Amino acid sequence: MSGAGEFAIDVTGVTKRFGDKTVVNAIDLQVRRGEIYGFLGPNGSGKTTFIRMLCGLLTPDGGSGTCLGYDILTAQALIKCEVGYMTQRFSYYEDLSILENLDFIARIYGIPDREAAVRGSLERLGLANRGAQLAGQLSGGWKQRLALAACLIHKPKLLLLDEPTAGVDPKARREFWDEIHRLSAEGITILVTTHYMDEAERCHRVALLAYGNLLVRGTVPEVIGLAAMTTWSVAGAGLSALAQALKGQPGVEQVVPFGGTIHVSGRDGPAIEAALARLCAPGQERTKIPSGLEDVFIGLMDSAKDNYN
C-alpha cells in the first residue's frame, strides 16, 4: 500500500537483460523517504534502465521490491501516478508554449483544477513571466525548469531525475540543486543520476554503478573510506616528465594534472609511496592528501569489468 514503510524505494536483486546481455545485475537498493540519492556511473552503466524499472516503464527480469509501497512487478500503473520522471533529453513539445506544455501534462494526469496546478508550477519554477514563450526558444537552463515543473505538476512523492543538469551553465545547475533540496525538505524523495562530482557531494547518499553492477554505496565519506584510496599531491618543476614516469608503476592507478601539481592515486599506499620516493627529482615536493570522490569514482570504474566482453 502506498505510504507504508520507511523507504520510498526498497528493492532486491533487480535484474534486466536485453538478449544475452545483462544491463542491470541483481541490484539491491533502499532509499529513505525525503532522501536525495545520487546514482553515479559512466554511460552504459545501467542507470537509466534501473530508473525505468522503478517507475514502471520496464519490467524487471529478476528481483522484487517496492516503489512508494507498490510492488514494482504488479503495480506499475499505480507507481506511475505518484512518480515524476525527468528524462535525459528534453521531451516536451517545442512548438507549444510553456503554459501549453504544462496544461497538456495536467490533462494527461487528469488533474481536476488544471489552471491552478499549471499556475502553481509556473510560479514555483520562476516561469510565470515566460508562460507564452515557445519551449523551442528556451535555453538549456529554462528547458530544465520547464521539465522539472512538468514533473511536479501532479504532486509526486518521488522524483527520478536522469542527468538533469547535463548541458546547462553553472548558475542554472546551482539554482536547480537549491530547488532539489527544497523539495527534499518538503518530504519528496529524489533519485538523481549525475556525472558531476560536486553534485554527487550534495546528495545524502550515493551509489556507484559500472556495467550493470553496483560497486559501492553510502554517504560520500563512507564511499571514499570503503574505496581505501591513497592520494599524493606533487608540486615543483618537471611534473610532465614525472607523470609519464609514474604511469604503469606498481600501485599507481591514476596520475592527474591538478593546477600546478599532479595527483597520484591508487589502492596500494606503500607501493605509491615507494614509486614517488624513487622517481621524484630534487625540488619536487610530495604531500599526502585526502582522496576525493572523483579519485574513487575513476579508480573503481577503471577496475570494473566491461559487460560487453
Question: Does residue 93 sit in the same domain as residue 161?
Answer: yes
Residue range of the domain that includes 170: 7-223
Question: Does residue 172 sit in the same domain as residue 282?
Answer: no
Question: Does residue 163 sit in the same domain as residue 206?
Answer: yes
Residue 156: the pLDDT is 94
Does position 262 have pLDDT exceeding 80, yes or no? yes
Question: Does residue 174 sit in the same domain as residue 205?
Answer: yes
**Residue 1 confidence class, pLDDT cut points 50, 70, 90:** very low
Ranges assigned E (strand) in the chain: 7-18, 21-32, 36-40, 62-67, 70-71, 83-86, 158-162, 189-194, 205-210, 213-218, 230-235, 254-258, 261-266, 285-289
Question: Does residue 209 sit in the same domain as residue 151?
Answer: yes
Which residues make beta-bridge pairs with 265? 231, 254
Residue 307: the pLDDT is 52
Considering the chain, what is the average pLDDT of its residues? 91
Domain assignment present for residue 260? The answer is: yes
Domain assignment present for residue 41? The answer is: yes
Question: Does residue 42 sit in the same domain as residue 158?
Answer: yes
Does position 3 have pLDDT exceeding 60, yes or no? no
Per-residue pLDDT of 53-106, as tens digits, reads: 999 899 999 999 999 999 999 999 999 999 999 988 878 888 999 999 999 999
Domain CATH code at residue 236: 3.30.70.100
Share of the chain above pLDDT 90, in %: 69
Does position 232 have pLDDT exceeding 90, yes or no? yes
139's grid cell: 535555453
Question: Does residue 18 sit in the same domain as residue 152?
Answer: yes
Domain assignment present for residue 306? The answer is: no
Residue 300: the pLDDT is 84
Domain assignment present for residue 305? The answer is: no
In sequence order, the 6+-apart residues with CB closer than 8 A to the CB of 104 are 93, 96
Question: Does residue 213 sit in the same domain as residue 236?
Answer: no
Does position 284 have pLDDT exceeding 90, yes or no? yes
Residue 30: the pLDDT is 96
State the Cα–Cα distance between residues 150 and 107, nearest whole angstrom: 11
Structural domain count of the chain:
2
Per-residue pLDDT of 92-146, as tens digits, reads: 888 999 999 999 999 999 998 899 999 998 988 888 888 999 998 988 888 888 9
The average pLDDT across 208-216 equals: 91
Phi-psi region of 69 (alpha: psi -120 to 50; beta: other; left: phi over 0): left
Angstrom CA distances, 121 to 36, 99, 101, 118, 155, stand at 21, 10, 12, 5, 10
**Global pTM?**
0.89
The average pLDDT across 243-263 equals: 93
